[in-house]
Amino acid sequence: MNFSYWEKEYLISPSDYLIVGMGLVGLQTAINLKEKYPKAIVTVIDRHGWGLGASTRNAGFGCFANISEILDDLKNDTIKNVYETISKRYHGLIKLRKKFGDDNIDYQSKGSIEIFTHKNKNELHEAIDSLQGINTILSQELDLKRVFTYKNNNSLPNVIGTIHNDYEGQLNTGKLYHTIYKYAQNLGINLLGGLEVLNWESNAEITIFTRQQINLRTKNLILCTNAFTPNLVDEDISPCRGQIIVSEKMEQLPIEGLYHYDNGYYYWRDIDDRILLGGARNYDSIGETTNKIETSDVIISELKRFMEKQITGKPVAIECQWSGIMGMGKSKQKIPIIKKIEPHVYVAARLGGMGVALSASVAEDIQKLLD
């Protein structure tokens, strides 16, 4: 194809920084670089029209930790990595709110509740035993008083105890993405959808080859491709699908705020007079280790069953359902990968299942690495 003078000059001209992936990490990395170097040409590309992996498909939990997930993570990683990841999430949440504004992203500090039923009463006992120790570490790490509190009263069916985290909140995923996208556009960052990177070649500068046969040149390449990173480089990342259902509007919602259950495998919240419920990935862990953005009957049926049994206590119509793809550690490590892989080529990926808040910290860390 012959490109027009205008395309060559304004759309595909060489960049100083070319970011692959228009998710929360890619967009915020671009914003940080453009704010630091206003004269630099910063371009973000994505294989889809917009960031279509996890960033527009998540549940909008502004979360950083729940107690049974911490205990589980401590079995798979070092104490240092577990608490460093929590700290990155917590500080990321503060950055996100400060930079983009609570009103713009519809942030509401309703707190979160982890529920325990008879099925996981052993986990409840373990959580109660560890509560004080974890709170002490978190008060040193995050400067927060008593992050977790135990309560034994709850109106939800089958619940034998709850652990509350009043420092978490919920946001509107659509508004968050839209706000960040517009912010990037207003700074003069080039946002180009429909370009899938296949590979690149490094000489005096880097040439990126795309499936669409449009080659782009850049001085620095940053892969913010999360779950899809293994298609480009060999890193400890495995794609894991997450699925969500949203109920019809209800006159009286049975819950308000954020809820977690079963080591965070099930999570639900209120949104616009509806209940949003996601997870159940552990119900078919092999089937859900995939990067296919489609829903599966097995998981959707399990979510519907859980919604009626555990949340509403009665049948409820489902208005919509979808899936998204998370980037998890094959090794079960959750700390994000932020590194230089070759001269002028960087990776910022593996955001896991609590990557919304974390994204602001990862974008800041990768920008610092580029300095």
Ligand X SMILES: Cc1cc2nc3c(=O)[nH]c(=O)nc-3n(C[C@H](O)[C@H](O)[C@H](O)COP(=O)(O)OP(=O)(O)OC[C@H]3O[C@@H](n4cnc5c(N)ncnc54)[C@H](O)[C@@H]3O)c2cc1C
**Binding flag, residue 278, ligand X (CB under 6 A):** yes
**Binding flag, residue 354, ligand X (CB under 6 A):** yes
Task: With contacts defined by CB under 6 A, name the span among 69-77, 108-116, 121-129, 318-326 that binds ligand X.
Answer: 318-326
Distance of closest approach, residue 76 Cβ to ligand X, in angstroms = 18
**Residue 117 phi, psi (nearest 5):** -115, 180
**Binding flag, residue 247, ligand X (CB under 6 A):** no
**Binding flag, residue 179, ligand X (CB under 6 A):** no
Residues of this chain, 195-214, that bind ligand X according to CB under 6 A: 196-197
By DSSP bridging, strand 190-193 and strand 42-46 are: parallel
Sign of CA dihedral 106, 111, 117, 120: positive
Task: Pick from 48, 178, 219, 339 the residue near ligand X by CB under 6 A.
Answer: 48
Task: With contacts defined by CB under 6 A, name the span among 35-43, 69-77, 125-133, 346-354 that binds ligand X.
Answer: 346-354
> Any idea what DSSP says for residue 283?
G
**Binding flag, residue 326, ligand X (CB under 6 A):** yes
Write out the two tokens for 58: 């998540």
Distance of closest approach, residue 89 Cβ to ligand X, in angstroms = 7
**Binding flag, residue 293, ligand X (CB under 6 A):** no
Nearer to ligand X, 43 or 58 (CB): 58
Nearer to ligand X, 117 or 172 (CB): 172
Half-sphere exposure of 209 (CA within 13 A, CB side): 6
**Binding flag, residue 353, ligand X (CB under 6 A):** yes
Write out the two tokens for 127: 């959580």
Residue pair 298/47 in contact by the 8 Å Cβ criterion = no
Let me know how many helices (H) and strands (E) the chain has, helices first. 9, 18
Cα gap 358→95, rounded to integer Å: 10
CA 305, distance to chain mean position in Å, is 25
**Binding flag, residue 26, ligand X (CB under 6 A):** yes
Cα gap 172→309, rounded to integer Å: 26
Binding residues vs ligand X (CB under 6 A): 20-26, 45-48, 51-55, 57-61, 63, 196-197, 224-228, 231-232, 242, 244, 278, 324-326, 351-357, 359
